[in-house]
A and B are shown apart, each in its own frame.
Chain A
Amino acid sequence: MARFIARRLALLVVTLFVVSLIAFIVPYLGGGDPARQILRSRVSDLALDPAAVEAVRQQFGLDQPIYVQYARWLEAAVVGDFGKSFTNRQPVVDMVSGALSVSIVLALAALALAVVIAVPLGILAAVRAGGRRDSAILTLTQGLVALPEYWLAPLGMLVFAVWLGVLPAAGWTSPESVILPAAVLSLRPLAYLLGVTRASMINVLASPYIVAARARGLSQVRTLRRHAVKNSMVPVMTLFSIWLAGTLGGSVVVEVIFAIPGLGRLMYEAVVNADVPVIQGGVVATVTLAIVINTLTDIGYAFLNPAVVVGESRG
């Protein structure tokens, strides 16, 4: 077990190093001269004073070779210093962590809603797979997958904020302002979680110990509750953790529409403003979180089911 965890952690460090390299270099590929960008984002003057450009270049160490810049950046990043935003001169760490705390609330609310609806429906569909109820639920999920968030969001605002006046249209001020964006964001993961619950449940229900439990005379409800549900939840947990990681930095559209100060919107605005330090910090934060969540899920399985450590060949 200890060796398994050590290997996963070593892999995590290597991946993080690669990610830091990509996160550092990519923003420099597009923007042209970063010194000019910094100045332009501050003074919005198209004709820049060459002396000022040179001063900024020296001040930010941009006259050094790229590997020296990377080493300096990495050295600071390891202790949590990603520099200051080009646009508002706030420390990137504060901006990213503030945005992240918002995105975590939004993502957890959306995914909790998705799980609460998807798991019971998935089990219902699986119990009589191929039946009328099953195909109705399947058709519903196909409809959900095809619904664009950037369409539902304005329609939701129109109905619940403008016409009914029961929910705030946008912003991130009161607890009620979580409801509409979380609901919009929950539909797609709901569809996928439902599909996985159904498939996993069908598998479990066909396994010998379920047949044995039924043969011993356990009622269907008791069999489901005692044996089937718990065992069918492992693939659902995997998908949940993938969606959690993806929703934290990936709900750009919903955060932009609802004016939510989360990580997705922060990254979007950083790209629009060519705010290189924020892009770097945001990417490192998003990917690190995704990898950490993945690693924790893997280690969690190893505790639940020690066969995972032996090898993935049993799956």
Chain B
Amino acid sequence: MGSAPGIAPAETILRPQVRVGAVARLRDVLGGFHWTFLVGGTFFGFVCLILLLTPWIAPYDPITQVLTDRLQAPSAEHLLGTDHLGRDVLSRLMHGGRFSVSIAAIAVLITGVTGTLLGALSARIGGVFDEAIMRLVDALLAFPEVLIALFLVFILGPGYGTLILALALSGWTPFARLTRAITLEINTKEYIEAAEALGCSRTFIIFRHVLPNAIGPVLAQGFLRFGHQLISVGGLSYLGLGVQPPMSDWGAMLADAQVYMIRSPWLVIIPGLAIFLTALSVTLAGQGLRQSTLRRDRPAATPLEPTGAVA
């Protein structure tokens, strides 16, 4: 059948919506994200890049003491000044950040995987298992995570591994609650009923149907938790429970600097600012990601369907 007179051919209707060129394509991809995700994500990426390159680009050795140069204000020679033992603050900040950020990242990875799986299993199995997991979540919520960390330090002694374990023990609950809620909603869907009728195993349903639906919110939650964990890491090492001297992370730098606060305020300001900005950037990224997953879940407009042209 030929096209009726007065109706434009499909190509001309489609044409204005098809963008060409690399810049336009990039805009299409980025346009799917919330602006806070782009800003926060870019800043955080920049921080990670610097921390990765630290062994090659840090201006000084972080633990070499030059006592004659102690407590210097920021200058061309020492961009962020020197601490109470004459060590270069910028270099210590870069090396310390590797501890802070990697501890928080590993803790989030561990808790993200375990929490998500436990939440999905809890909602799929239900019954006593579900009840037990949820009571455990409640119990952990009631127990301050600092006290869990104190307990672990008492048993295992302070250090990198203890910090990760402490954060992982209490940190999986938000992921479990989130995934459980998502799974309970998916449980009511017809395709789950169909999969069950076909005799699909629990593992198959979780990996094929539940997790793909949960991945967006879980990722957003991961960013938000990362900010939280970064601050917790700092707090625990501020208390001397984390990385031990002569190395130090951002929290320990703050603790070292407090005695010299009045004479050298920048020693307190700089490591705290590093924690704040990094935590803020991942929090913004997480919020932005959450916004864009919400937007995607709404019934989207379908621009490539030439409605009205074929009617």
A-side interface residues toward B, CB under 8 Å?
15, 26-27, 29-31, 138, 142-143, 145-152, 154-155, 157-158, 162, 242, 245-246, 249-250, 252-253, 256-257, 264, 267-268, 271, 274, 279, 283, 286-287, 290-291, 294
Contact = CB atoms under 8 A, between A and B. Distances in A.
A146 B283 CA distance: 7
By DSSP majority rule, is chain B's interface helix, strand, loop, or mixed? helix
B80 to A, nearest CB: 16
B143 A253 contact: no
Contacts of B265: 158
Interface stretch (B3-11, B87-95, B146-154): B146-154
Contact of A146 (B141, B157, B280): B280
A15 B228 CA distance: 28
A279 B227 CA distance: 30
B269 A155 contact: yes
Interface of B: 138-139, 141-147, 150-151, 153-157, 227-228, 231, 234-235, 238-239, 251, 254-255, 258, 261-262, 265, 268-269, 271-273, 275-276, 279-280, 283-284, 287
Given A268-B150, A274-B154, A252 B231 contact: no
Contacts of A26: 151, 154-155
A267 B147 contact: yes
A186 to B, nearest CB: 16
B150 A252 contact: yes
Contacts of B276: 146-148, 151
Which of B141, B154, B155, B280 is most buried by chain A, counting CB atoms within 10 A of its CB? B154
A154 B145 contact: no
B146 A252 contact: yes
B155 A29 contact: yes
A148 B231 contact: yes
Contacts of B151: 26, 271, 279, 283
Q: Which 7 A-B pairs have the closest CB atoms?
A: A250-B144, A151-B272, A30-B155, A290-B142, A146-B279, A146-B280, A150-B238
Contacts of B275: 148, 151
By DSSP majority rule, is chain A's interface helix, strand, loop, or mixed? helix
23 contacts: A15-B139, A30-B156, A30-B157, A138-B287, A142-B284, A150-B254, A150-B272, A151-B273, A151-B275, A151-B276, A154-B254, A154-B268, A155-B268, A155-B272, A242-B142, A250-B144, A253-B146, A256-B239, A257-B258, A274-B154, A279-B151, A279-B154, A283-B151
A212 to B, nearest CB: 27
B239 A253 contact: yes
B143 A287 contact: yes
B272 A283 contact: no
B288 to A, nearest CB: 10
B154 A150 contact: no
Contacts of A138: 287
Contacts of A157: 261
Contacts of B228: 145
